[in-house]
Amino acid sequence: MPLEKYQYISDVWREGIFDNKVVFCTGGAGTICSAQVRAMVHLGANACIIGRNVEKTEKMARDIATARKGAKVLGLGAVDVRKTEALVAAAERCVKELGGIDFVIAGAAGNFLAPIDQLSTNALKSVMDIDVLGSYNTVKATLPYLAESAAKHLTDGKTRPKNGTGGRIIFVSATLHYAGTPLQSHVSIAKAGVDAMSVAIAIEQGPKGITSNVIAPGPIADTEGVARLSKVEGRDKSMKSIPSQRFGTVKEIADATIYLFSDSGNYVNGETIVVDGGQWHTASVDKGSFSYPDFLLSGQSVTGVAGTKKAKL
């Protein structure tokens, strides 16, 4: 169903700044990535969202298209980001039907809660394959089109770009690995790899006009991550440990996306934009759901949340 504009984008952005541009997004049916894409579509872009679940991805594509009359949004389901050929085919279809790829959001991810001594090799590999390999495959499949877009939309920071911006990548990461997070070693390892990948791409592809940056969300309200990975009774206490004293919103992630993809982000390359209300700076504060270190020393299995996984050694 159509959303009110302020649910996914602030009023500060000028209408039409992404006219005739195309955004390609993996994990596009998720709560955060769909908001990022919806904001882009509202401001003129067309889009191609990628997911594994066909029905969910196609339904979300139709919903995102309501953000702007005449918008074209492709929902390509049954695409596994771990498979290079699947992403190559998706990128080719996107270009064929929408005319190119100007912006890429690598947002496909997997997560659950488990201490490292209960984490199997296969469980770690699964997260690494989705987050790191999936992000790598996304870039590899779209890089030729991004290079074309960057060449058409070079910016010097002095004059208004005649054709707008293009040739830009955003990786959706996390802050878990900055200070260390219990029960999240697997995701911390994966997201650290994603962050390093973004910097490498910025260095290597920057001379072609391509920019590569990371957005690292903190806890975002009404998302699958918060619903699956935290206990309801611990959320109020967790919120109090955030300097901003609240969870974030998907709109605030979308606004950071517009900043990086628009003329305002021309000279930002190889950087991480943290959108977490200052949460990671209070990493030593007990967050409430799983008391540190008592929970780890107890040897208990994680219970009470939907996102858990038992090791199969």
Q: What positions carry a catalytic annotation?
A: 173, 191
Instruction: Taking the CA atoms of 228, 229, 231 and 235 in sequence, report the sign of the dihedral they define.
Output: negative
Query: What dihedral do alpha carbons 305, 251, 149, 142 form, nearest 10°?
Result: 10
Question: What order do you get walking across the sheet with 211-217 strand by strand?
Answer: 73-76, 46-50, 22-26, 103-106, 168-172, 211-217, 272-275
SS (H, E, C) the chain: CCCCHHHCCCCCCCCCCCCCCEEEEECCCCHHHHHHHHHHHHCCCEEEEECCCHHHHHHHHHHHHHHCCCCCEEEECCCCCCCHHHHHHHHHHHHHHHCCCCEEEECCCCCCECCHHHCCHHHHHHHHHHHHHHHHHHHHHHHHHHHHHHHHCCCCCCCCCCCCCCCEEEEECCCHHHHCCCCCHHHHHHHHHHHHHHHHHHHHHHHHCCEEEEEEECCECCCHHHHHHCCHHHHHHHHHCCCCCCCECHHHHHHHHHHHHCHHHCCCCCCEEEECCCHHHHCCCCCCCCCCCHHHHHCCCCCCCCCECCCCC
Task: Give me 189's structure tokens.
Answer: 């390892």
